[in-house]
Structure 1
Amino acid sequence: MKAHTKNEFIAYQWDGMRRMPCTKETINLFDKFYVFDSYDIVDNNYQNHKLEGITNFYFDMNKPQPIKHKGTIAYFVGTHVSERVADIEYCAAELIENGIQLKFIIPTSNQDKINQYHCSDYFIFGAENEIDFSQNIEMLNEIDIIVDFVNPLHNGLSFRIFEALYYQKKLITNNVNVSNYDFYHPDNILIWHKDDLSQKIKEFLSKPFRPIDDEIVKKYSFGNWIKNILNLSPYDKIRLPFQ
Structure 2
Amino acid sequence: MAKTIILALPYLYGLDQCIEKNLRYLGYDVINLCYDDSRSYYPTILHHIKSWLIKLFYGRAKYKEYEKSKTYSRYADDIEYKLSLLGNKKADFALCIRANVYPKSLISLIRENTKTCVNFQWDGIDSHPDILEYMEYFDRFFVFDPNDIKKYPQYALRHITNFYFDYDIPQATQSTAALFFLGGHQASRVGQIKDFIAKAKTLDLLLDFYIVAKDKRARIAFDSDPAIHYVHSSQAFSFEQNLYKVQESCVVVDFLNTVDQGLSFRSFDALRFDKKLITTNMTVVEYDFYHPNNILVWQENTTAEELAQFLALPYQPIPYEIKQKYSFSAWLKHILYS
Give the structure-1-normalised TM-score: 0.88
Counterpart in 1 of 2:153? 47
Q: Verify the 8 A CA contact 2:275 2:294 in the aligned structure 1.
A: yes
For 1:216 and 1:94, the matched residues in 2 are separated by 33
Counterpart in 1 of 2:121? 13
Counterpart in 1 of 2:283? 177
- Which one of 196, 205, 210 corresponds to residue 105 of structure 1? 210
Counterpart in 2 of 1:187? 293
- 1:201 equivalent in alignment to 2:201: no
Structure 2: 5+ residue runs without aligned partners?
1-109
Q: 1:109 to 1:3 in 2, by over 3 A?
A: closer
Pairwise CA distance, 1:21: 2.1
Counterparts in 2 of 1:102-181, with a 5 A limit?
Answer: 102-118=207-223, 120-127=225-232, 129-181=235-287
Identity, in percent, stands at 37
- 1:89 equivalent in alignment to 2:194: yes
Aligned length in residues: 228
Question: Which secondary structure state, in structure 2, belongs to the residue aligned with residue 115 of structure 1?
Answer: helix
Pairwise CA distance, 1:9: 1.5
For 2:199 and 2:170, the matched residues in 1 are separated by 28
For 2:230 and 2:117, the matched residues in 1 are separated by 39
For 1:119 and 1:91, the matched residues in 2 are separated by 16
Pairwise CA distance, 1:184: 0.2
Pairwise CA distance, 1:102: 1.0
Q: Verify the 8 A CA contact 1:28 1:49 in the aligned structure 2.
A: no
For 1:66 and 1:216, the matched residues in 2 are separated by 24
Q: 1:114 to 1:39 in 2, by over 3 A?
A: same
- Which one of 98, 106, 130 corresponds to residue 22 of structure 1? 130
Structure ID, larger Rg: 2
Q: Verify the 8 A CA contact 2:209 2:229 in the aligned structure 1.
A: yes
Pairwise CA distance, 1:99: 2.3
Q: Verify the 8 A CA contact 2:250 2:275 in the aligned structure 1.
A: yes
- 1:36 equivalent in alignment to 2:144: yes
The letter of the residue matching 1:22 is D
Structure 1: 5+ residue runs without aligned partners?
233-243
Pairwise CA distance, 1:29: 2.5
Q: 1:18 to 1:198 in 2, by over 3 A?
A: farther
Pairwise CA distance, 1:66: 4.6
23-32 or 168-177: bigger deviation: 23-32
Pairwise CA distance, 1:42: 0.6
96-105 or 209-218: bigger deviation: 96-105
Counterpart in 1 of 2:52? none
Q: Verify the 8 A CA contact 2:211 2:218 in the aligned structure 1.
A: no
For 1:28 and 1:48, the matched residues in 2 are separated by 13
Pairwise CA distance, 1:67: 4.0
Q: Verify the 8 A CA contact 1:91 1:197 in the aligned structure 2.
A: no
Q: Verify the 8 A CA contact 2:195 2:300 in the aligned structure 1.
A: no
Pairwise CA distance, 1:25: 1.7
Q: Which has the higher contact order (CA 8 A, sep 6+)?
A: 1
- 1:215 equivalent in alignment to 2:314: no
Q: Verify the 8 A CA contact 1:89 1:119 in the aligned structure 2.
A: no
For 2:170 and 2:244, the matched residues in 1 are separated by 9
For 1:107 and 1:69, the matched residues in 2 are separated by 23
Pairwise CA distance, 1:231: 1.2
